[in-house]
């Protein structure tokens, strides 16, 4: 067994936070967690968790680290929240430990919920530990940077307003070579669909915007994107524990859709952003469900194919497996829709075990990958079990309709030297969908003597 102190990772953000910690500030934060931030739910969890350890085998960190007990879900609580609630002495170094455990050794993936007979929500407890650390300025540097970006720009990646619209116009321009009439309609009032993406898309994954525009175009949909802040649905503030910024970011997102009077929001292939709009951020805004109807890409694509709005021209034969992102599967039950779309695109699908709602997390989620390079090794090592799962399928393509999973699985596959490519659904739909001639041919020229 290793201890959290032994496996400490140096992080600039935590070091700076540590230097500013005082016993008084810690005491204040403890009081806040005990008296104002939490209520009966936390107390009851604290009292009735039977310390039975049944949740241990649920966690990929525990399993991948040779059943090291300090990685068991209940152990993470035991080393953090239990100490806060028991009123134990907590020093600055302890807060460092708490931050490393809560931000980088738990993905808030909620897999442990299937293992706990009492029904304890470890994800909630660990996000409250994060809240405690955030209140003390103890947030890993890279993650904190995304939070600062959210707070100042309303997007995760410091994308400036003109850069955003430039990226969209650029992708429209590019796509016009292929589809001469294509538009990425900006600020179209009353459109059926308000399409939102996450910060990294305009920053370094513009091909995803390209693909989405092509799919919308071929399906003949009435859609729009805003030219102003609110276009980013992602939410690292939620994972930092900065709920105030989370609320502002979510409000900007919903407000943008409402300002344009759109009927529904369709969002790209992202897991955590989906969690933040329908499960967490909306609650902070006092909305039981999302204030504007929200559809995840998986469901959106499934409907397009089912209704014949796009037709799949051919299926690929490569061995394909499916990674179920927790935030859309365990978070919204879209496992059958995901399979429907995958089977429409691929003829050779091999399931992982366990799968569907029982999937192992990719170990990138919950903001862990956003904690950046210092934690890459512990993240990859902490999910050996996923690498083994993928390897067993023999698949060369892993479908993963979630950004974090996508990047996390790439690291994992690379680390385990598995020859597999990670793919979004859009990466397959775009090349495989039928592109009828009237979409791809240039507009008829009026002055050319044609009738």
Partner 1 sequence: METLYLLARGPLCWATAIIFVLAMGWKLSKAWSEAKAKDGSSVAYLSWKFGLRSIFNWAIPYNALGWKENPLICAATFCLHLSLLLLVLFADGHTVLWEYTFGLRIWALSPMLSDILSVVALTSLGVLAWRRIAVPQVKFVTGPADWLALILVTVPVLTGFLSGFLGGTSALTLTTLHILTAEILIVLIPFTRLSHAVFIFFTRAYIGSEFGGVRHCRDW
Q: Binding residues for ligand SF4, per CB under 6 A?
A: 49-55, 58-59, 61, 73-74, 76, 106-112, 115-116, 118, 120, 122-123, 126, 271-272, 325-327, 361-362, 364-366, 402, 404-405, 408
| Number of other CB atoms surrounding residue 413 within 10 Å | 20
57 binds, options partner 1, ligand SF4, none, Cβ within 5 to 8 A by partner type: partner 1
- Shortest Å, Cβ 98 to ligand SF4: 14
350 binds, among ligand SF4, partner 1, none (CB under 5 to 8 A by kind): none
In this complex, which beta carbon is closest to ligand SF4, that of residue 226 or of residue 366? 366
Among 17, 26, 45, 182, binds partner 1 (CB under 8 A): 45
- HEC assignment per residue over the chain: CCCCCCCCCCCHHHHHHHHCCCHHHHHHHHHHHHHHHCCHHHHHHHHHCCCCCCCHHHCHHHHHCCCCHHHCHHHHHHCCHHHHHCCCCCCHHHHHHHHHHHHHCCCCCCHHHHCCCCCCCHHHHHHHHHHHHHHCCCCCHHHHHHHHHHHHHCCCCCCCHHHHHHHHHHHHHHHCCCCCCCCCCECCCCCCEEEEECCHHHHHCHHHHHHHHHHHHHCCCCEEECCCCCCECCCHHHHHCCHHHHHHHHHHHHHHHHHCCCCEEEECCCCHHHHHHHHHHHHHCCCCCCCCCEEEHHHHHHHHHHCCCCCECCCECCCEEECCCCCCCCCCCCHHHHHHHHHHHECCECCCCCCHHHCCCCCCCCCCHHHCHHHHHHHHHCCHHHHHHHHHHCCCEEECCCHHHHHHHHHHHHHCCCCCEEECHHHHHHHHECCCHHHHCCCCCHHHCCC
Q: Which residue is nearest to ligand SF4 (CB)?
A: 365
Subset of 278-337 contacting partner 1 (CB under 8 A): 278-279, 283-284, 288, 329-334
Question: Which span sits near partner 1 by CB under 8 A: 51-59, 92-100, 126-134, 396-404?
Answer: 51-59
Residue 86 Cβ vs partner 1, minimum distance, rounded to whole Å: 9
Alpha-carbon span 231 to 35, nearest angstrom: 36
Note whether 56 binds partner 1 by CB under 8 A: yes
Closer to partner 1 by CB, 69 or 431: give it: 69
Binding residue (CB under 8 A) for partner 1 from 53, 91, 293, 436:
53
For residue 231, state whether it binds partner 1 (rule: CB under 8 A).
no
Look at residue 188 and give its three-state secondary structure.
coil
Angle formed at CA 448 by CA 443 and CA 451, multiple of 5 degrees: 80
* Binding partner at 325 among partner 1, ligand SF4, none, C-beta below 5 to 8 Å by kind: ligand SF4
**Partner that binds at residue 277, options partner 1, ligand SF4, none, CB closer than 5 to 8 Å by kind:** none
Locus of tokens 């403890």: 30
Q: Is 44 in the site for partner 1 (CB under 8 A)?
A: yes
Q: Which of residues 344-383 bind partner 1 (CB under 8 A)?
A: 357-358
Distance CA 286, CA 304 (A): 32
Could you say which of partner 1, ligand SF4, none residue 59 binds, taking C-beta under 5 to 8 angstroms by partner kind?
ligand SF4
Give the nearest distance from C-beta 260 to ligand SF4 in angstroms. 28
Please state the closest distance from residue 412 (CB atom) to ligand SF4, in A: 11
Nearer to ligand SF4, 171 or 233 (CB): 233
**Can you tell me which residue has the tokens 């209520």?**
39
Give the range of 109-117, 224-232, 240-248, 369-377 binding partner 1 by CB under 8 A.
Answer: 109-117
In angstroms, what is the minimal distance from the CB of 27 to ligand SF4?
27
Q: Pick one of ligand SF4, partner 1, none as the site partner of residue 123 (Cβ within 5 to 8 A by kind).
A: ligand SF4
List 51, 160, 181, 306, residue binding partner 1 (CB under 8 A): 51
Determine, following the binding rule CB under 8 A, whether residue 117 of this chain makes contact with partner 1: yes
CB-nearer residue toward partner 1: 70 or 155:
70
Contacts to partner 1 by CB under 8 A: 1, 38-41, 43-45, 47-58, 62, 67, 69-70, 72, 74-75, 78, 113-121, 278-279, 283-284, 288, 329-334, 357-358
């Amino acid at each position: 067994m290793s201890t959290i102190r032994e496996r400490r990772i140096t992080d600039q953000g935590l070091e700076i936070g540590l230097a500013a910690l005082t016993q008084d500030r810690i005491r204040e934060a403890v009081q806040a967690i005990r008296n104002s931030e939490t209520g009966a739910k936390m107390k009851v969890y604290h009292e009735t968790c039977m310390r039975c350890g049944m949740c241990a085998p649920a966690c990929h960190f525990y399993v991948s680290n040779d059943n090291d007990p300090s990685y068991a879900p209940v152990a993470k609580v035991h080393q953090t929240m239990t100490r806060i609630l028991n009123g134990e002495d907590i020093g600055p170094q302890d807060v460092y430990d708490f931050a490393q455990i809560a931000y980088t050794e738990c993905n808030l993936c909620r897999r442990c919920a299937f293992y706990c007979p009492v029904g304890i929500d470890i994800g909630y407890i660990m996000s409250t530990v994060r809240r405690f650390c955030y209140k003390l300025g103890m947030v890993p540097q890279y993650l904190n940077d995304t939070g600062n970006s959210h707070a100042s720009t309303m997007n995760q990646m410091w994308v400036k307003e003109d850069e955003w619209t430039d990226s969209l116009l650029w992708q429209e321009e590019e796509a016009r070579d292929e589809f001469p009439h294509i538009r990425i309609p900006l600020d179209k009032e009353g459109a059926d669909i308000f399409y939102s993406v996450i910060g990294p898309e305009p920053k370094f994954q513009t091909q995803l915007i390209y693909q989405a525009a092509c799919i919308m175009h071929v399906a003949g949909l009435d859609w729009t994107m805003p030219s102003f802040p609110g276009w980013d649905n992602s939410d690292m503030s939620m994972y930092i524990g900065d709920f105030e910024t989370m609320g502002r970011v979510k409000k900007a997102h919903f407000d943008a859709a409402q300002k344009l009077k759109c009927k529904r929001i369709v969002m790209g292939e992202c897991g955590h952003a989906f969690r933040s709009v329908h499960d967490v951020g909306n609650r902070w805004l006092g909305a039981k469900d999302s204030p504007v109807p929200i559809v995840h890409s998986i469901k959106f694509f499934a409907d397009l194919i089912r209704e014949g709005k796009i037709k799949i021209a051919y299926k690929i034969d490569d061995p394909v497996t499916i990674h179920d992102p927790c935030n859309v599967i365990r978070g919204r039950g879209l496992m059958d829709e995901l399979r429907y779309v995958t089977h429409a695109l691929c003829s050779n699908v091999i399931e992982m075990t366990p799968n569907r709602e029982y999937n192992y997390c990719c170990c990138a989620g919950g903001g862990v990958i956003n904690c950046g390079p210092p934690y890459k090794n512990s993240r990859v090592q902490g999910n050996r079990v996923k690498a083994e799962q993928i390897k067993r399928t023999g698949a060369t393509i892993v479908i993963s309709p979630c950004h974090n999973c996508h990047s996390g699985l790439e690291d994992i596959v690379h680390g385990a030297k598995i020859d597999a490519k990670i793919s979004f659904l859009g990466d397959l739909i775009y090349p495989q969908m039928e592109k009828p001639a009237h979409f791809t041919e240039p507009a008829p020229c009026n002055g050319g003597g044609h009738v």
